[in-house]
Structure 1
Amino acid sequence: MVVRSTVHTTAGSGSTEGLIDLAIDLGGEPETASAYHQLPGVLGKVRRSVRFLAPVQFDVLRQYRTDVTERRYRSREVPRKAPVRLTRGASATPHGTEPAILFGVHWLELGGAERFALETIKLARDAGFTPIVVTDRPSTHPWITRSELDGAVVVPLTLPTPPEQESAFLNGVLSAYDVRGIHLHHSAWLAQRLPWIKSIRPDIPVVDSLHILEWRTGGFVDISVRMTNVIDTHHVISPMLRDYLIGKQGIDPARVKLATLANLTTGSIDHTTQVSESHGDVFTVAFVGRFTQQKRPYLFLQLAAALKDSAPEEVRFIVHGDGELAGEVHGLVARLGLLPVLELRGPGQPVSQTLADADVLVISSDNEGLTLTTFEATAAGVPVVSTDVGSQASLIAEDLLVPRHPYPFISTAAERIRTMITSPEQRKVWLDEQAGKAAAFAALPDARTWVRDTYEGWLS
C-alpha cells in the first residue's frame, strides 16, 4: 500500500528533518487498553500475564497490598503547596466580557463523577455562562456529543503538553473570556496549574468536587489537600470525605461543603414500582458499571458462577456496562459456562430497564465513594449487595455489606442472595433498611441546588 500525504512539512530539507508523523485510520471500533496492558519491561509482562490468567488470585494480592497501604495512608499528613503570595489583583490581567466557567474534567466517559460534571456544565450554561471544558485523560470521549455540552467550548488535551503551549492556552482563555470561576471534577492537570492561575487572577474562586478516597495512590483527594491553599471550597459528596478532610487533614470546616448526589440520576426511575417480591419466575442478579479494575466485573462473574451451581432455584444474570476490560468479561462469560444464563447489555441501553428487570443489584468494587447506582436501585425498589468500601455503609443494609477481599466477597454475597431467593420477607426487610438510609441521606444538602446557587453568586 502506498500512501501519499497532502500535509506539507515546514521542517528543514534534511533527510530526517523533513519527515513528519502520519496517522492512518484503518477503521474499526476504538479499543481502550487498561493500565495492565501498558506495563513495560519483563516485570510488566509477568504482571500482565498473571493478572489476566488468574484475575481473582491476582486480586487477592492487590487487596492485601491495599490493607497495608490504607493503614499507612491513614497515619500520614499530606503536605501542602504554599499559598500564592503575589499581590497582583484582577485588574493586572485584562480579560474579555463574556462570562465563563472553566471546568476541569477527567474525561467524557460513563462514570459518577462525569455525570455530575455534565450536570454542573448544564447548570452553568443555564445560568448564562459559557462553559469551557478541559479534559486531561486519553479517551475516545463517547459523551462529547451529549446535549449538556451544547454551547460549551470543549478542549480534550493530549499530554504531555510543552509548558509554553499550556501557558499560551490558559492565557488565551483568561484573556478571551471573563472567567468567573473554576470547577474541578477529578482533573489533576488543572489542579496542578491553580497556583499559576491564582497568581495572576486571585479573584477567581475555585471549587473542587471530590467523590472517593483512593488508598493505593492518594488520588484526587490527595491532590486536593496538597492544593488546598489555592482552592476556595472543597465540595464532598459523603460524610466520610467531609470527616477525612476536616478531622484528619485539618482543613477549615468553613471551606468544606457536604452536598450529596442523592437525587442526581433517579429522575427517570419509576418510583411507583416499589416491590418486595421477585420480578418474575426467575430470580435476576444484576451488575451495572464500567468494566474497569476498580469495579471488578470479573469478580461478579465468579459470583454468578457460584450462584449458578448453588442457588436453590433457577437464577439469571445481567451485566450492564462497557470499558477497558470488555474483552476479559466476554471471555470469562464463556469460560465459566454462563452464556445460557447471562445477558450482556451495553451503555446504549437504559440502566432503568436493567433495574426494572433485577431482583438484586451487586456492587463488587474494591473502592468507591458513594455509588449513584445505589440511589437508582433504591428508587427502583431493588436491594443492593455491596462491598463495604467508601461511604457505601451510609446507604446499604448492614447485612448486605460484604468484604472486599475476593473469596470472602463471593461466599458472603452468594449466601445473602440465596437468602433473598428463599425468603422474600427477609429481602423486604433489607430493602426497607436501605430505603430508610437513602431517605436520611436525601435530607442532606443537595449538590445540584448548592452548585446552582454558587454559580448565580459568581454571575452577580
Structure 2
Amino acid sequence: MAREELPASRGLRVLTFLHSFEPGGVERVALRLHSAWVELGADARLVMGREQGAMRAEWPGLAYEVLDRAGITGPLETLWMIASLPGAIRRHRPDVLFCAGNSYTVVSVAMKLLLGRRCPPIVAKISNDLMRPDLPRIAMPFYRLWLRIQGRRLDRIVAIAPAMAQEITEMMGVAPDKVPVIDNPALSNAELEHLAALPRPAHVGPARRFLAIGRLAPQKNFLGLLDAFARIARAGDRLTICGEGPQRAALEARAARLGIAERVHLPGHTFPLDDELARADALVLSSDYEGLPTVVLQAYAAGIPVVATDCSVSMASLLGHGRFGALVPPRDPQALAQAMDTVLDHPFQAEAAHAEARRFTVDLAAHRYLRAMEDLGPSAALSRAPRFQFR
C-alpha cells in the first residue's frame, strides 16, 4: 500500500507521554504510533512516567525518558505526571504534545494551565465513547462540564471513527474543523496478514470456545460476561479471558459461585494472542463503554465473529450492522447470553470483515496524525532546517 506523501520541510517534534508499560489499548496504540513516527524519520520523543509493565518486552530497542526511575508512583501516577511533565517539555521543546486517550486529558489540560502560552499545542485522541452510562446521575453535570473544559483547552481532538466525530463536537462544544477523523491505528498491515494466516485447529464436537480480551477492570464488565456464559454453557464449552487487572479475585470468586470455574480460563496478560485467536470460535466484548476496540479488529483479521455490547456510537457500524456478529445492550446478561448462544448459527462474512479491519492500520494513521499536527506547529518550526524526511 502506497504511503501518503507529506512535505519534508515542515517536520514537527512530537512528544508522547504515557504513565507506564502496563497493558492497555490506549498505551499500545500510542506506542504503535510513536514507533511508526520514528520509522518514518520523525523527531518523535516518548516520555514514560515509570517503566514497569508487561508491554515493555513487546517494544525492544524503544528509546524513551523515564520520569520516575524508582517506579513508586503507580497509585499517584497522574499527579506525578502533572508535576514532572513540564520539566520534560522544557528539555525536549516539542512543537506538539500527543495525548493518547481520554485517561490522559487531565494531564493535558493541566499542562495548558501550568504552562500557559509556553505549552505546545495538544493533539488529543478520544479513545473511549463520551457517553458514560456507568457514572452515577449526580456526577453527570460535572462530567459534562469537564468535557467542555477539555474542548476549550485541547487544540485538536481526534475522532477514531466517523461516528464519534459528531458526538465529540456536541458534547465537548467544539467546531467540526477542530475534530479530524483518523481511524484508530489498531494493527499494522503485517499483523493483519499474520492473523489471517493463523492455522485454525480442527473443531471436534459441539463444544464452543469463547474468547474475551482486556484489562480485568470494571469498564470491561467481565463479571457480567461470566453471568451470561453461565446461562448458556454446554458440556465442553470454554471461556478464556486474556488480561490482568484488579478484578481477578472477584472474577475467580464469581466463576466459582456460578459453578463454571473449570470452564473459565484466566491466563493473564497474553502476548502474542495468536494461539487464543486461532482456537476461538467467537470473540465477546462485554464492556460498558469503549472507543473503537482493537480486539474486534484482531478478531476480524483472524476470521472469527464477534458478540459485542453497544458500548460506543461506532459499534453498530464496526459490526457491519450484523454482518460480522451480534450487538446487544450493555449490562444485559440475558441478551449477551442469547447472542453468544446463537452467534455461530449465522454466516460470517470473513473477507468483508478482513477488509473492514484493513481501514484501521498504523500504516495509514501515522501519516494522517502528522498531517493533522502540521498546522499546529509554531512559526519557529517553519524556520528550522528540516530535521527529518518522510519516505
1:287-337 deviation digits (Å, cap 9, x = unpaired): 2111110111111212221122xx4x6422222111100111222233322
1:143 matched to 2:59:
no
Distance 1:172 1:314, change over 3 A: closer
Q: Distance in 1 between matches of 2:318 and 2:25?
A: 16
Q: Distance in 1 between matches of 2:85 and 2:339?
A: 53
Kindly indicate whether the alpha-carbon contact (under 8 Å) linking 1:237 and 1:370 is maintained by their aligned counterparts in 2: yes
What SS is found at the alignment partner of 2:218? Answer: coil
Kindly indicate whether the alpha-carbon contact (under 8 Å) linking 1:119 and 1:148 is maintained by their aligned counterparts in 2: no
Post-superposition offset of 1:241 = 2.2
| 2:328 paired residue number | 402
Post-superposition offset of 1:286 = 1.4
- The equivalences for 1:204-283 within 5 A come to 204-212=120-128, 213-215=130-132, 216=135, 223=146, 225-261=148-184, 263-264=186-187, 267-268=190-191, 269-272=194-197, 279-281=203-205, 282-283=207-208
1:155 matched to 2:67:
yes
Name the Cα RMSD after superposition. Answer: 3.6
What SS is found at the alignment partner of 1:285? Answer: strand
| 2:254 paired residue number | 332
Q: Distance in 1 between matches of 2:337 and 2:184?
A: 29
- The equivalences for 1:376-395 within 5 A come to 376-390=298-312, 391-395=314-318
Post-superposition offset of 1:151 = 1.6
Letter in 1 for 2:17: G
Post-superposition offset of 1:401 = 0.7
If asked which structure has higher relative contact order (CA below 8 Å, sep 6+), I would say 2
Letter in 2 for 1:133: V
1:354 to 247, 262, 276: 276
Kindly indicate whether the alpha-carbon contact (under 8 Å) linking 1:266 and 1:375 is maintained by their aligned counterparts in 2: no
What SS is found at the alignment partner of 1:183? Answer: strand
Distance 1:146 1:454, change over 3 A: farther
Post-superposition offset of 1:365 = 0.9
1:417 to 340, 344, 347: 340
Post-superposition offset of 1:448 = 2.7
Distance 1:237 1:223, change over 3 A: farther
- The equivalences for 1:83-232 within 5 A come to 100-126=13-39, 127-129=41-43, 131-135=45-49, 141-144=53-56, 146-147=58-59, 150-156=62-68, 158=76, 166=83, 169=84, 172-185=87-100, 186-187=103-104, 188-201=106-119, 204-212=120-128, 213-215=130-132, 216=135, 223=146, 225-232=148-155
Q: Distance in 2 between matches of 1:248 and 1:264?
A: 29
Distance 1:160 1:447, change over 3 A: closer
Kindly indicate whether the alpha-carbon contact (under 8 Å) linking 1:260 and 1:442 is maintained by their aligned counterparts in 2: no
1:285 matched to 2:285:
no
Letter in 1 for 2:93: D
Q: Distance in 2 between matches of 1:266 and 1:341?
A: 34
Post-superposition offset of 1:387 = 0.8
Kindly indicate whether the alpha-carbon contact (under 8 Å) linking 1:237 and 1:259 is maintained by their aligned counterparts in 2: yes
| 1:65 paired residue number | none
Q: Distance in 2 between matches of 1:352 and 1:220?
A: 39
Q: After alignment, is 377-386 or 153-162 more displaced?
A: 153-162
What are structure 1's unaligned runs of at least 5 residues? 1-98
| 2:286 paired residue number | 364
Q: Distance in 2 between matches of 1:170 and 1:110?
A: 21
| 2:355 paired residue number | 439
Post-superposition offset of 1:250 = 4.1
Kindly indicate whether the alpha-carbon contact (under 8 Å) linking 2:180 and 2:372 is maintained by their aligned counterparts in 1: no
1:451 matched to 2:369:
yes
1:33-67 deviation digits (Å, cap 9, x = unpaired): xxxxxxxxxxxxxxxxxxxxxxxxxxxxxxxxxxx
Distance 1:222 1:239, change over 3 A: farther
Distance 1:130 1:384, change over 3 A: closer
What are structure 2's unaligned runs of at least 5 residues? 1-11, 387-391
Distance 1:389 1:162, change over 3 A: closer
Q: Distance in 1 between matches of 2:202 and 2:343?
A: 9
Identity of matched residues, %: 21
Distance 1:274 1:259, change over 3 A: farther
Distance 1:233 1:134, change over 3 A: same
Post-superposition offset of 1:381 = 0.9
What SS is found at the alignment partner of 1:400? Answer: strand
Q: Distance in 2 between matches of 1:329 and 1:227?
A: 35
The TM-score, its normalising length taken from structure 1, stands at 0.64
| 2:223 paired residue number | 298
What SS is found at the alignment partner of 1:108? Answer: coil
Letter in 1 for 2:283: L
- The equivalences for 1:305-344 within 5 A come to 305-308=230-233, 311=234, 314-344=236-266
What SS is found at the alignment partner of 2:224? Answer: helix
